[in-house]
Amino acid sequence: MVGNAVFRVEGLRKSFGRNEVLGGISLELHSGEVTVLMGANGAGKSTLVKIISGVYERGGGTMILADQVFAPNTPAEAIRAGVVTVHQNINDGVVADLDVATNLTLDRLSGRGVPTLFNPARVRREAKAVADRMGLAIDLKARVNDLSLADRQMVAIARALAHQPKVLILDEPTSSLSSAEADRLFALVDRLREQGVAILYISHRMSDIRRLADRIVSMRDGVISGVFDTKPLDYEGAVNAMLGRKIHLDQIVARSSDKPVLTVEGLRIGQGARPISLTLGDGEVVAITGLVGVGKTALAETLFGVRRPLAGTMTMNGKPYAPRSAGDAIAAGVFLVAKDRATSGIVGDFNIERNVSLPFLKRMSNLSVLKRRLERATARRQIEELSIVCRSEKDEMSALSGGNQQKVMVARWMAQKAALFILDEPFQGVDISARRDIAAKLRASAHGRATLLFVTELDEALETADRILVMSEHTIVGEHRNAEVDLDRLLAEVAGGPLHSAA
Amino acid sequence: MTLRDHAIRYGFIVLLVGLVAYFAIAADGFVSPQSAVFIFQSVAITGVLALGVTATLVVGGFDLSIGSVATSAMMAAAYVMVVLEQNAVVAVVVCLLIGAIVGLINGWLIVYMRVPDLLATLGMMFLLVGLQRIPTEGRSIATGMTMPDGSVANGKFGDAFLALGRHRFDFFIPNLIPVSVVVLLVLAVLIWFFLEYTRFGRMMYAVGSNERAAELAGAPVKAYKIWAYVISGVFASIGGILLAARLGRGDIASGNNLLLDAVAAALIGYAVLGAAKPNAFGTAVGALFVGILLQGLTMMNAPYYTQDFVKGVVLVVALVFTFALSGRGRG
């Protein structure tokens, strides 16, 4: 198989500033084969895709397409050479206000040698040819706006295939599709595989991967951490290569708790998902881990009151807990450090002090007039507590590093006493030293509350939590005390293998 | 701080001082208490409207209906007193209610019907421009007018109401400060305090900067947005009351410039002290700036169309100050 690689990448490197994102990637794609690329957030998948598709310039290394050097300067060049990418955001691939036929032939509407006048009949004729080759059964006169997400996805892919590519890159194509819609996509991928296209398929969904993969390549921290191409494919090995332990950190001393803070019973957070039951105890740090898209954020948001469960009850310190808004949850002592601080945490127009006080303005005011001195004192205390590196509490957030920004977010919610403290991906985009600081602070202050973390990276769970729960398909599938963890079983649960028992 | 920082921070204040100095030299009688009061009086109504629209700018919205809310309130005040023959208190209450209701509808359209703010308030503007003319079939309202059904309206503006536009308080010099200026100053201090020193004001800024973060910090974001439009509507109706009291009749032709001047004042306010965000103090300075400019130009006998042009130039320059130079435009 090695000889007939249609596309080969060797020693590809890329740095942003001093931050090396890709540290020498070598990868081969073969005609008529689906290669799945797996990797956690920040592993460098999207950087790799953007280099291959001509969006970013490469830092070093070579790319060879059909025995010729491939070095695209623009996305258009990559497409012309036969490497076509369908990006994750479907709406980047289609023009919503135009009809399907125009979308399918859009790339022929500009450039040299194209007639000035728009000829609808010719466009429809060409579009029909493209649609037939793909087996696409969509009304060509329909406006893309009126199509379902899956149909739009099909149009985006069909549009990409109008160029008759040698290599097709699909970046998380099923992330917004239902399972029935995904089946249609898989059928299309099968058809393309038969036609001899080399496909690079990027996904987190184990069900997709099991259905489609001929080979799996795992990526971690900017390098290839595993290639799996012998059948039957070793899915757990692939997940391990992507997430498993890389360094042996100091083993934490796992605590256990006998005083329950939050009890959840029969909670259902997704259509068709099995109910979740769990208990979080006073003083313990619990991490919930699982791949992207298994419902971690949905569970966090349900506990925090910004999303309604489909069924189930929650009890907080013996009293029924059914928050209807974030305000309710905060009043009940449930705090959430939300995922993705830039969009859901940081108020860009506010300095550190005002970002810290944001959720507790009511408690920091008298007859609604803010107690500014208390506000400043709180900010100073929290800067001290979490050793945030800044000149003063008046610094703008944009002046801080990612790690320090995240510390401000954690400091915000640690300014008041929580009954349940939830952190959703608190270590994303955070350097290692800030990550250790935050984890140490969480453990040191854990007494008197329950702490719940949602993390994709196993290491993060192993180095902070007393107990680790595994999520898959919107439910909890495994539980481990963080002492002598059976990593094989844990990884199997993450990979969503057949569930042997109802445990 | 670098020179550039200084330019951003104090540029507009320097410009304002320079403008005053220029008019002081070039226009006779510009520097006098009467002239100062006249400037304040000329900006009182637009200033009140501008303070209201500042509230919507703070939550990241915009209100284009303020001008027509003000004229609707003016027409309503006239209708209540002249046609329905009610007293001043009733007229004021009706005006404030109109402002609050329009604000609620604007907020509802934007928050629940998901109409973009500019379009919702633009629609409301057109609606009100038409609505305010329906009761009198497009005629101005004054005592003794003939109604569409042939009867004669005999009510008149109450003295108490007219005092809102005409009474002047003694301040060192007898009969110096008009009521409208006092109203402007009181409202300016109120909204400034509200935005800077209360938790509601702080949360409104948070909503304007990052709505999702504010929501996840427990703020009822929708309510805050709706309240901002109610504040804007009520302030605009107060402006309308002052306008009616000054004119003493319901004049369908007046108030054309209110929207433009008020919006200009609020946007110029972004540039004051390098705030780069809507703020009450900046809005007040912005209104003053526009007032001084127009008063000075008037005293130098510049025709009205040059005044509009100069106003536009100032607005564009202020926006450049805010968005390009400070480099922290709001997205």
How close, in Å, is residue B198 to chain A by CA atoms?
Answer: 4
> A340 in contact with B at a CB cutoff of 8 Å?
no
Closest CA to A424 of A320, A343, A321, A333: A343
Query: What angle, rounded to 10 degrees, do the helices at B159-166 and B88-111 form?
Result: 70
Interface mutation vs chain A, best among B192, B193, B198, B199, most A CBs within 10 Å: B199
- Pick the most confident of A170-184, A233-247, A337-351, B143-157: A337-351
CATH for A1-82+165-243, options being 3.40.190.10, 3.40.50.300, 3.40.220.10, 1.10.287.110: 3.40.50.300
Start-end of CATH 3.40.50.300 domains in chain A: 1-82+165-243, 260-494
CATH architecture of A260-494: 3-Layer(aba) Sandwich (3.40)
User: Which DSSP helix (H) or strand (E) runs through A150?
Assistant: helix A149-161
Distance CA B164, CA B95 (A): 14
DSSP B147: P
Closest CA to A52 of A23, A74, A21: A74
Question: pLDDT tier at A282 (50, 70, 90 boundaries)?
Answer: very high
Least confident of A178-187, B111-120, B282-291: A178-187
Q: What is the pLDDT of residue A1?
A: 43
Closest CA to B58 of B280, B236, B311: B280
Distance CA A397, CA A408 (A): 9
- Pair type for strands A198-202 and A167-171: parallel
Q: Write the DSSP assignment of A167-216 as a string of letters.
A: EEEEESTTTT--HHHHHHHHHHHHHHHHTT-EEEEE---HHHHHHH-SEE
Would the CB atoms of A348 and B210 count as touching at under 8 Å? Answer: yes
How close, in Å, is residue A38 to chain B by CA atoms?
Answer: 30
The number of residues making up chain B comes to: 331
Residues 6+ apart with CB under 8 A from A498: none
Q: In terms of CA atoms, which chain A residue is nearest residue B331?
A: A348
Which member of B197, B198, B206 has the closest CB to residue A358? B206
Please report residues of B whose CB lies closer than 8 A to that of A361.
Answer: 199, 202-203
Please report residues of B whose CB lies closer than 8 A to that of A334.
Answer: none
Q: Are A282 and A449 in contact (CB under 8 A)?
A: yes
Task: Work out the percent of chain A whose per-residue pLDDT is above 70.
Answer: 93
Interface mutation vs chain B, best among A347, A362, A372, most B CBs within 10 Å: A347
How close, in Å, is residue B32 to chain A by CA atoms?
Answer: 38
Please report residues of B whose CB lies closer than 8 A to that of A304.
Answer: 216
Would the CB atoms of A347 and B197 count as touching at under 8 Å? Answer: no
Please report residues of A whose CB lies closer than 8 A to that of B215.
Answer: 306, 326
Which member of B200, B220, B330 has the closest CB to residue A368? B200
Rounded to 5 degrees, what angle do the CA atoms B12, B14, B16 make?
A: 70
Q: In terms of CA atoms, which chain B residue is nearest residue A300?
A: B216
Would the CB atoms of A354 and B202 count as touching at under 8 Å? Answer: yes
Q: Taking all residues of chain A, what is their mean pLDDT, rounded to a whole number?
A: 86
Question: pLDDT tier at A223 (50, 70, 90 boundaries)?
Answer: confident
Q: Are A82 and A166 in contact (CB under 8 A)?
A: yes
For A141-197, the pLDDT digits (tens) are 888 888 877 788 888 888 887 777 889 999 888 776 777 777 888 888 898 899 889
Q: What is the ipTM of this complex?
A: 0.89
Query: What angle, rounded to 10 degrees, do the helices at B33-58 and B280-299 form?
Result: 140
Give me the amino acid identity at B261. Answer: D
Phi and psi angles of residue A434, each rounded to the nearest 5 degrees, phi first: -65, -35
User: Other CB atoms closer than 10 Å to residue A24's CB: what's the count?
Assistant: 16
Q: What is the pLDDT of residue A246?
A: 57
User: Other CB atoms closer than 10 Å to residue A391's CB: what's the count?
Assistant: 8
Tell me: pLDDT of B77 over 90. Answer: yes
Q: What is the pLDDT of residue B331?
A: 36
The strands making up A285-289's β-sheet, listed across from edge to edge, are: A334-337, A420-424, A450-455, A285-289, A467-472, A475-481
* Averaged pLDDT for residues A461-481: 92
Q: Taking all residues of chain B, what is their mean pLDDT, rounded to a whole number?
A: 90
Question: pLDDT tier at B280 (50, 70, 90 boundaries)?
Answer: very high
Question: pLDDT tier at B174 (50, 70, 90 boundaries)?
Answer: confident
Distance CA B307, CA B288 (A): 15
Would the CB atoms of A329 and B218 count as touching at under 8 Å? Answer: yes
Q: Write the DSSP assignment of A365-408 as a string of letters.
A: EETTEE-HHHHHHHHHHHHHHTT---S-TT-BGGGS-HHHHHHH
